[in-house]
Amino acid sequence: MTPLQFESGYRAIWDELDQAVSLIEGKARRQSRWSRREAVDVDPARVAALYRATCEHLALARSRAYPIHLTERLESLTQRAHQIVYHRSDNSGVRLARLFLVDIPQAIRAHSIAMWVATLVFAGPLLVLGAMTYFDPGFVLTAHDIQSVQHYDAMYGTSASAIGRERGADTDWQMFGFYIRNNISVAFQCFAGGVFVGLGSLFFLAFNGVQAGTVAGYLTSRGYGETFYSFVVTHGAFELTAIVIAGAAGLSIGHALLAPGRLTRLQSLKRAASDAVLLLYGVIAMLLIAAALEAFWSSSRWVAPGVKFGVGAACWALVFAWIGWQGRPKRQRETADAS
């Protein structure tokens, strides 16, 4: 789609939003004179829907490097509409819900290319090295030392009092703190590596894929597959997805430095960092959920593996639905249903 086709296709939405925002802004400036019927008829729900649609149009315009005058208009319009939508109510709970139910999934979809690249770089080594280690268990020593491998046997063997822990004396709360620190450290590496034009993010995504794949392949070959996969299936829906999102955020930073387009590299970096903030909010929230599940649910032996697999499948479906569906404008949902 050319910039001209893009603009002509969505101009009506932008004009309607611009008119509605102008009317609301005019009311704020001239409250005592606010009596005209056409101003009073502004529908807040319609404004919010137009705002969400225009945010997606802005993300598309940026990703396709459309002319600067077009992105600047959309940036100005969404900034004005943001003030209307998010300051209409002082209810912080509503704003927080909108952040996680609308803004973050929209931001993830706006970085779809980076998400696909991050997924392939992470999942590719995981699957390939996992298969190689399954058929040759000794291959695990190319990625882990012998002490670590012995720890894995102890943590996922039948003698462990709690799955995924070498020492049963550790409390759930202690492990919760450990998991948070470890998970955020991994995600930060995947994100911060983006400042090296994305190469750091690619490295840490592939490295973590290798680490996870070799462990999975080794434990499967040892006959601990049911214990291991029932342990990781639930919290993995949030943890692994968060790692990929963090890597995608890092790749967007790297792309901004490598291909700034008509902007200076500093301007491009600032814009990419601003967009990445929403992704990081999602990463942090998902890692907190993953840490809680890993500490209090995944490691429990009193929960049957079949139950964990069922809950894990539901969590994966929830994550995919949240990323792929949540926050879409009603018109897009209707189009998707019709197709």
The reported pLDDT for the residue numbered 87 is 65
Assess whether pLDDT exceeds 60 at residue 339.
no
pLDDT given for residue 128 in this prediction:
97
Q: Residue 202: pLDDT above 80?
A: yes
Mean pLDDT over 276-302 rounds to 92
Asked whether the beta carbons of 303 and 265 are under 8 A apart, the reply is no
pLDDT attached to residue 169: 45
Contacts of 207 (CB under 8 A, 6+ apart): none
Tell me the three-class secondary structure of 229-243, residue by residue: HHHHHHHHHHHHHHH
Q: How far is CA 269 from the centre of its chain?
A: 19
Does the pLDDT of residue 36 top 50, yes or no? no
Q: Give the model's confidence band at 125: pLDDT under 50 very low, under 70 low, under 90 confident, else very high.
A: very high
| pLDDT of 54 over the 90 cut | yes
Phi-psi label, residue 197: left if phi above 0, alpha if psi -120 to 50, beta otherwise? left
Residue 34 has pLDDT above 70, yes or no: no
In this predicted model, which residue has the larger pLDDT, 148 or 38?
148
HEC string of 80-127 equals HHHHHHHHCCCCHHHHHHHHHHHHHHHHHHHCHHHHHHHHHHHHHHHH
89 pLDDT above the threshold of 90: no
How is the chain split into domains, by residue range? Answer: 3-88, 110-332
Predicted TM-score of the model (pTM): 0.73
* pLDDT at residue 235 in the model: 96
Tokens (6 digits) for 57: 């149009």
pLDDT value of residue 44: 79
pLDDT-derived band at 91 (thresholds 50, 70, 90) equals low
The 10s digit of each residue's pLDDT in 142-181 is 999 999 999 898 888 776 566 766 544 457 788 888 889 9
CB 242 within 8 A of CB 282: yes
pLDDT of 337 > 60? The answer is no
pLDDT digits (tens, 9 = 90+) for 212-250: 999 999 999 999 999 999 999 999 999 999 999 999 999
Q: Where do we find the tokens 């929960």?
A: 303
Residue 259 identity (one-letter amino acid): A
Average pLDDT over residues 59-77: 89
Highest mean pLDDT among 16-30, 261-275, 288-302, 305-319: 305-319
User: Residue 288: what pLDDT?
Assistant: 95
**pLDDT tens column, 251-278:** 999 999 998 888 888 888 888 888 899 9
DSSP secondary structure letters along 12-36: HHHHHHHHHHHHHHHHHHSGGG---
> What percentage of the chain reaches a pLDDT higher than 90?
54
